[in-house]
Amino acid sequence: MNEQTVGQRIAALRAAQGLTQAQLGEQLGVSGKAVSKWEVGKCYPDITICPKLARLLHTKVDELLRDPEPAAENHPSLRDGHGGMQSLRSLYRIGVGPSSSHTMGPDRICRIFRGRHPDAARFSVVLYGSLASTGRGHGTDRVIRAVFADRPLDLQLNPDANLPFPNTMDLTAVYPDRTVTARAYSLGGGAIAFDGEAADEPDVYPHRSFYEIAQSVRAQGIRLYDYVRACEGDAIFDYLRTVWAQMQQTIRDGLNAEGVLPGGLGVERKAKFLHRSHYIGETADIQANRLIAAYAYACSEQNAAGGTVVTAPTCGSCGVLPAVLRYMQDKHGFSDAQICNALATGGIVGNLIKHNASISGAECGCQAEIGSACSMTAAALGELFEMGLGQIGYAAEVAMEHHLGLTCDPIGGLVQIPCIERNAVAAMRAINALSLANFLSETSKISFDTVVHTMYETGRDLNRVYRETAE
């Protein structure tokens, strides 16, 4: 980005409003010398004051910083390349941890199958791949037995089966005169599919790439959250308010909890300690890191303990987005409506990853979970600070790019080590991605669509033992 050009724009717009450098600085809470440095290209205004700066200069943030057009590079989905995307309700699911793919998904599958065969004498379930390898640590066996508690159940684990999709399960209903078998898949984030059946959730978004969505948004002169409203109606924001309320409750519950997490690893909860600790001489940056980490730990520890969380986009990565949004709301006073707009924007990014690649650690490693959560969070932050489309896309791309190749290898098959800590690290990395987008989006060479395509290819190339097998 040409800093001198940005500085010249600030100077011209300031002069047009009849403001001196000192007057503008006073309204922004900075010195006149700071404004002078912006105008001569020595530095940039901090991203947190860009929205206020733009309002004082009667412009928009993306116009002030000359937001670039998103790259036209557009890779089709590696899955099928057709159709649009499902509702954000399918991305942000409220449910019980510790795993959206190994707990929530199998629970849904079994309940549907059980409902289809209420009169069967007994049932059998075979878990394959990652479901079999880490099912006990993730509680898969527990939720399955609970669904079929009133009937005899034969539950088998087959971790060595070589199947195209790792989270596969076969279900059989046994009657006196026949048997009925179905194959189902837990796709990640609580999403499921039955073999040979159409998706039970229709597409509501007509586009399936960031480039296409950006073109539509630019043509209409709207923001990404307006696009969400246009596709889903006002009701989706009622749902996002419920999502945000649950995220906040999960943080509160996690900050108040103490003790050792279940599973046998002896992992102690740390969120409460992080939140209440304060070191002599603690700088503002260190305090920010501590608080963000505390909120991320709170969500992730609640998830590990089987508490209620929001998939964002999965249970294992549920702490990244709420941690950053909670911190930013506390620090800058963003309203709940602004937070919901950010959730909508981050949801579009998560939906694009989900439909064009994967959000399943068993399919593409932890890059598909923590990487996706970091990317969603960077985009959500971009909305909070009124960044332009190109900057939001760049922030999301940077956040994902630097998680490429990240493996999913949980100790003991539990969503604890290194999962909890990774949520905290990714939350802080999302803020770094936003900062880079503020300065460097015009220099971007890689589109968000390209990095999603690359993530999926990378994930499929990972050795299976690094894709949620705990081997």
What is the per-residue DSSP string for 92-138? Answer: S-EEESS-IIIIIHHHHHHHHHHHH-TT-SEEEEEEEHHHHHHHHHH
Instruction: Name the amino acid, one letter, at 361.
Output: G
Closest among 427, 436, 380 to 47, alpha carbons compared: 436
Q: What is the mean pLDDT of residues 319-323?
A: 98
Provide CB contacts within 8 A for 106, sequence distance 6+: 127, 131, 140, 143, 144, 169, 186
What are the distances in angstroms from CA 464 to CA 161, 235, 362, 458, 471? 12, 41, 8, 12, 9
CA 114 remoteness from chain centre: 31
pLDDT above 70: residue 331 = yes
pTM of the model: 0.86
**pLDDT, tens digit, for every residue of 257-306?**
999 999 999 999 999 999 999 888 889 999 999 999 999 999 999 999 99
Q: How confident is the model at residue 79 (pLDDT cuts 50, 70, 90)?
A: low
pLDDT above 50: residue 388 = yes
Beta carbons within 10 angstroms of residue 216's beta carbon:
15
Q: What percentage of the chain carries pLDDT values higher than 90?
A: 70
Mean pLDDT of the chain: 91
Q: How confident is the model at residue 3 (pLDDT cuts 50, 70, 90)?
A: very low
- 126: phi then psi, degrees, rounded to nearest 5: -115, 125
pLDDT above 70: residue 238 = yes
Q: Which of 37-51, 97-111, 240-254 has the lowest mean pLDDT?
A: 37-51
| The pLDDT value given to residue 72 | 54
The vertex-212 CA angle with 208 and 216, nearest 5°, equals 120
| The pLDDT value given to residue 66 | 62
What are the distances in angstroms from CA 161 to CA 103, 127, 202? 20, 10, 31
- Tell me which H or E stretch contains 173: strand 168-174
What is the per-residue DSSP string for 5-27? Answer: HHHHHHHHHHHHTT--HHHHHHH
What is the per-residue DSSP string for 389-441? Answer: HHHHHHHHHHHHHTTTT--B--GGG-S-TTHHHHHHHHHHHHHHHHHHHHHHG
pLDDT above 90: residue 223 = yes
Q: How confident is the model at residue 451 (pLDDT cuts 50, 70, 90)?
A: very high
pLDDT above 90: residue 119 = yes
CB 172, CB 181: distance < 8 Å? yes
